[in-house]
Chain A
Amino acid sequence: MIAGLLLVGTIPSATAVPASTQSNCVKCHFDIEDENGAAHQIGRDIHQQSGLYCSDCHGGNPALDDMDAIRASAGYRGVPDRLAIPAFCSRCHSDARYMHEYNPSLSVDQWEKYQTSVHGMRLAEKKDRKVATCVSCHTAHSIGAAKMPYSSTYPQNLPTTCGRCHADKAYMAEYGIPTDQLEKYTRSVHGIALLERGDLGAPACNDCHGNHGAAPPGIASLDAVCGLCHAIEAHLFDGSPHRPAFIEQGLPMCETCHGNHEILKPSDSLIGLAEGQLCATCHAADDQSKASADILKVSAGLRSLGNAADSAAHLLSLAGAKGMMITDEEFMLKEVGQIRVQARSTVHAFAADSLTPKVEEGLAKAEDVRKRAVKLIEEYDFRRFGLGIASIFITLLALGLYLKIRRLG
């Protein structure tokens, strides 16, 4: 009775539960389990909120309260074996007509996709009990929609969910794949954006790897995956000489230069033929090729644009420190910043001709700002000059007046 009241208290759903369908299961299991038990967690579960209860998955007669009787009752399924979990869940989740009753827009291809994933294939072929099944990621009894911040599949929680296995060195030892992905990801621009800044537009593991069909993206399709967000860079890359070259050499497209999990903010200094610079990995400095010439041109162009923008900003801050109003010029500087971003994007065409117009546009605008900053500083100097002139007149006049006073007095 009390457990029933407690149960009512834990249900976040607003739908009232008719007493006749209230499950006896929870009543007992709530008492015998601790806080990690199913009965304690089920209140948050999306199935519970949709009106499905223990018996809808585990079978049996929910009106009974004796475990033996329940086990003997018709349709009892009990706890599925680990290897049978995907089939257990897909009994409903792959049934389009059934799912239509509860959520018409939810897809029903999860199991189909799962079977193409590394997890699914190992489960089916190698009978690997360690791989992820539905409950490994979704939990068994507190399944939340991915949109819910408490869900294990909420973007900000997802890296931790995947990392429960993939960051566990001991657990993953026999698979021969690295376990530093989570650590690298949290250091990356995507990780910082998602986990620290709360930018839900940044990718979590599933955005690149897929969720049910989880597998690393194919080497030749990496630019398409990155290009889902980085459309311009991917588009330019696809038209550049690098694409066929990378395919031929079996290089992983974007990952070749940017890495996969530890993608950091690139800097202009990465471009060049000197030791330590990215291009030098493949391009020799003295091979007289058009490629090398272009690399140097691109590097020089970016550097000149960067210098122009920085010096304009510095001069402007000087003017601002002198007390001049610089809001208009700051606005123009923002435009220069935008052009810098665009110039860096055009690097992915890997042709100096694509970069040059942007660099020139940026240089022109930066020069504009610089000229205006100089004018502001000149205006500041003019003010002092004007004050000097006025002060001279005043001093002379004061002197004249003083003499006059002396004369009269």
Chain B
Amino acid sequence: MPGPEHRQQQSLPRRLYGWADTRFSIGDLVDYMRHKTVPVHGHSIFYYLGGLTLFLFLVQVGTGILLLMYYRPGADSAYESVRFIVSEVSFGWLIRSLHSWSANLMILVAFLHMFTVYFTQAYRKPRELTWFTGMALLGLGMAFGFSGYLLPWNELSFFATRVGTGMVRALPFVGDYLMQVLRGGDEVTGATIGRFFGLHVAILPAAFTLVIAAHLLFVQRQGMSEPVDWMTKNQNEKKFITFFPNFLYRDLLLWLLALNVLALLAVFFPDGIGIVHWPLGQKADPFAPPPLMIRPEWYFMFAFEALRLLPVHVLFLEGELFGIILFGLGGILWLLVPFLDKSSNLNRRSPLFMWFGVLVVAFIVVMTILGYTLP
């Protein structure tokens, strides 16, 4: 018979659930989540990429908050505070290194996530908004990367930012004004640190949080997209696993392994390696001559190199402006693929868009390689 003794025998998780349910009526929500399933097929491994990006973002938030404890923005203190973190603060080197590695890996995984979504046509109806919010997240992520790169205020970041922000000048009418707004003045100075810092720790996190909340809400509400060939199978041929706990445990396992990889990278390559290299080096000196090679970060390299390879003038336009317009158009095209790819909305493969995707990937890969190999 139910009595005091029975209640005492309930496990802790159960008691907590009961406590929350009586106050917030979470029963319906839990029921709904319990029935969520994830398709199992040849491409289901790609389902984990989104969560992996999220995990890496969470690592960024965590390490970023910790760095905030000691980082001081400003031309007189930024570099010194980062040096302090890396050399004096216990495990400061680890936090900073994790932050840098996770940033780069997050962008890489985000790109992979985007392309796997593209090639499995997961953007098609009804997931157009998921695609849009995803593209927004990619853009915000790259803005995170660009703004954060300047914050140590070292030689590397100063010149990369100078070149990067200088490029917007190519835009007619608004170019100069836009550059001044970006830089907080005509040149890259402590004022630029101020703006980038505000962007990096307040504006972008707020925007990112809103967009990712929407993105996750859409994914949770609609479930995972099924590949077109898989959709047409018979119901009894389709295999599913439950989200809770099967998919989640697998997700957590992957996150654990990713954490281990991050830790390995942070310990063995605290300053990065190869094309992802961020030694603290010397403090930025605006009056010093620029180093022989100024490179943007690798995820901007394809655009940088493409613009560099364009001739000085194309038709009546300046080469850079032409390039920016082309990229702009390309970006809009990419963004509108859910509406342009009519076949996908009928759950049919679209070879045209597949090839377009292949072309885009090839372009990015080739341009990135050229950026690092050409003089």
Measured CB to CB, the residues of A under 8 A from B are 323, 325, 327-328, 383-384, 386-387, 390-391, 394-395, 397-398, 401-402, 404-405, 408-409
Taking a contact as CB atoms under 8 Å apart, the answer to whether B253 and A325 are in contact is no
- Once A391-B263, A405-B253 are accepted as A-B contacts, the answer to whether A327 and B87 lie under 8 Å apart by CB is yes
Interface assignment of B203: CB less than 8 Å from any CB of chain A: no
Taking a contact as CB atoms under 8 Å apart, the answer to whether A325 and B260 are in contact is no
Taking a contact as CB atoms under 8 Å apart, the answer to whether B246 and A405 are in contact is yes
Question: Among A383, A397, A409, which residue has its beta carbon within 8 angstroms of that of B246?
Answer: A409
Taking a contact as CB atoms under 8 Å apart, the answer to whether B250 and A405 are in contact is yes
**10 extra A-B contacts, CB within 8 A, seeds A325-B83, A394-B259, A394-B263:** A323-B270, A325-B86, A325-B280, A384-B267, A390-B260, A394-B260, A401-B253, A405-B249, A408-B245, A408-B249
Give the docked Cα–Cα distance between A364 and B75 (Å): 37
Give the docked Cα–Cα distance between A68 and B8 (Å): 137
**Distance in Å: Cβ of A186 to nearest Cβ of chain B:** 32
Taking a contact as CB atoms under 8 Å apart, the answer to whether B270 and A397 are in contact is no
Interface assignment of B68: CB less than 8 Å from any CB of chain A: no
- Once A394-B260, A398-B256 are accepted as A-B contacts, the answer to whether A404 and B267 lie under 8 Å apart by CB is no
Interface assignment of B264: CB less than 8 Å from any CB of chain A: yes
Taking a contact as CB atoms under 8 Å apart, the answer to whether A404 and B256 are in contact is no
Residues of A within 8 A of B267 (CB): 383-384, 386-387
Residues of A within 8 A of B83 (CB): 325, 327
**Distance in Å: Cβ of B241 to nearest Cβ of chain A:** 7
Taking a contact as CB atoms under 8 Å apart, the answer to whether B263 and A387 are in contact is yes
Chain B 119-147, CB-CB to A under 8 Å as 1, else 0, gives 00000000000000000000000000000
Interface assignment of B176: CB less than 8 Å from any CB of chain A: no
Chain B 66-87, CB-CB to A under 8 Å as 1, else 0, gives 0000000000000000010011
**Selected A-B contacts with CB under 8 Å, 21 pairs:** A323-B271, A325-B83, A325-B86, A325-B87, A327-B87, A387-B263, A390-B260, A391-B260, A391-B264, A394-B257, A394-B259, A394-B263, A395-B260, A398-B256, A398-B257, A401-B249, A404-B249, A405-B246, A405-B249, A408-B246, A409-B246
Residues of A within 8 A of B219 (CB): none
Give the docked Cα–Cα distance between A328 and B88 (Å): 11
Q: On chain B, which size bracket covers the interface? A: 20 to 34
Measured CB to CB, the residues of B under 8 A from A are 83, 86-87, 93-94, 241, 245-246, 249-250, 252-253, 256-257, 259-260, 263-264, 267, 270-271, 280
Taking a contact as CB atoms under 8 Å apart, the answer to whether A409 and B263 are in contact is no
**Distance in Å: Cβ of A365 to nearest Cβ of chain B:** 20
Give the docked Cα–Cα distance between A409 and B249 (Å): 11
Taking a contact as CB atoms under 8 Å apart, the answer to whether A394 and B256 are in contact is yes
Give the docked Cα–Cα distance between A390 and B260 (Å): 8
Taking a contact as CB atoms under 8 Å apart, the answer to whether B253 and A402 are in contact is yes
Residues of A within 8 A of B249 (CB): 401, 404-405, 408
Give the docked Cα–Cα distance between A394 and B263 (Å): 11
Residues of B within 8 A of A405 (CB): 246, 249-250, 253
Question: Among B87, B241, B256, B271, which residue has its beta carbon within 8 angstroms of that of A409?
Answer: B241
Taking a contact as CB atoms under 8 Å apart, the answer to whether A401 and B256 are in contact is yes
Give the docked Cα–Cα distance between A384 and B260 (Å): 13
Give the docked Cα–Cα distance between A401 and B260 (Å): 15
Give the docked Cα–Cα distance between A409 and B38 (Å): 13
Residues of B within 8 A of A409 (CB): 241, 246
Give the docked Cα–Cα distance between A80 and B124 (Å): 105
Residue of B nearest to A397 (CB): B256
Residues of B within 8 A of A394 (CB): 256-257, 259-260, 263
Taking a contact as CB atoms under 8 Å apart, the answer to whether A398 and B87 are in contact is no
Give the docked Cα–Cα distance between A398 and B253 (Å): 6
Residues of A within 8 A of B253 (CB): 398, 401-402, 405
**Distance in Å: Cβ of B156 to nearest Cβ of chain A:** 16
Give the docked Cα–Cα distance between A323 and B263 (Å): 16
Residues of A within 8 A of B260 (CB): 390-391, 394-395, 398
**Distance in Å: Cβ of A393 to nearest Cβ of chain B:** 9
**Distance in Å: Cβ of A133 to nearest Cβ of chain B:** 49
**Distance in Å: Cβ of A6 to nearest Cβ of chain B:** 41
Give the docked Cα–Cα distance between A395 and B250 (Å): 14
Residues of B within 8 A of A395 (CB): 260
Question: Among A323, A328, A401, which residue has its beta carbon within 8 angstroms of that of B252?
Answer: A401
Residue of A nearest to B87 (CB): A325
Give the docked Cα–Cα distance between A387 and B263 (Å): 7
Question: Among B93, B263, B270, B271, which residue has its beta carbon within 8 angstroms of that of A390?
Answer: B263
**Distance in Å: Cβ of A329 to nearest Cβ of chain B:** 10
Residues of B within 8 A of A397 (CB): 256
Residues of B within 8 A of A387 (CB): 263-264, 267
Give the docked Cα–Cα distance between A386 and B260 (Å): 12
**Distance in Å: Cβ of A85 to nearest Cβ of chain B:** 51
**Distance in Å: Cβ of B63 to nearest Cβ of chain A:** 15
Taking a contact as CB atoms under 8 Å apart, the answer to whether B257 and A328 are in contact is no
Residues of B within 8 A of A328 (CB): 87
Residues of A within 8 A of B259 (CB): 394
Residue of A nearest to B269 (CB): A323
Give the docked Cα–Cα distance between A386 and B267 (Å): 9
Residues of B within 8 A of A401 (CB): 249, 252-253, 256
Residues of A within 8 A of B245 (CB): 408
Give the docked Cα–Cα distance between A402 and B245 (Å): 12
**Distance in Å: Cβ of B82 to nearest Cβ of chain A:** 11
5 closest cross-chain pairs (CB), A and B: A325-B87, A387-B267, A394-B260, A401-B253, A405-B249
Give the docked Cα–Cα distance between A17 and B270 (Å): 71
Give the docked Cα–Cα distance between A328 and B86 (Å): 13
Residues of A within 8 A of B280 (CB): 325
Residue of B nearest to A394 (CB): B260
Residues of B within 8 A of A408 (CB): 245-246, 249
Residue of A nearest to B279 (CB): A323
Give the docked Cα–Cα distance between A391 and B249 (Å): 19
Give the docked Cα–Cα distance between A323 and B270 (Å): 7
Residues of A within 8 A of B263 (CB): 387, 390-391, 394
Give the docked Cα–Cα distance between A387 and B259 (Å): 11
Give the docked Cα–Cα distance between A404 and B241 (Å): 14
Residue of A nearest to B264 (CB): A387
Residues of A within 8 A of B257 (CB): 394, 398
Residues of A within 8 A of B86 (CB): 325
Give the docked Cα–Cα distance between A327 and B80 (Å): 12
Residue of B nearest to A405 (CB): B249
Residues of B within 8 A of A390 (CB): 260, 263
**Distance in Å: Cβ of B341 to nearest Cβ of chain A:** 35
Residue of A nearest to B280 (CB): A325
**Distance in Å: Cβ of B248 to nearest Cβ of chain A:** 10
Give the docked Cα–Cα distance between A408 and B87 (Å): 46
Give the docked Cα–Cα distance between A328 and B94 (Å): 20
The listed residue with most A CB atoms (<10 A of its CB), out of B83, B93, B241, B253, is B253
Give the docked Cα–Cα distance between A391 and B87 (Å): 24
Residue of B nearest to A404 (CB): B249
Give the docked Cα–Cα distance between A328 and B83 (Å): 11
Residues of A within 8 A of B94 (CB): 383
Give the docked Cα–Cα distance between A177 and B331 (Å): 84
Residue of A nearest to B40 (CB): A409
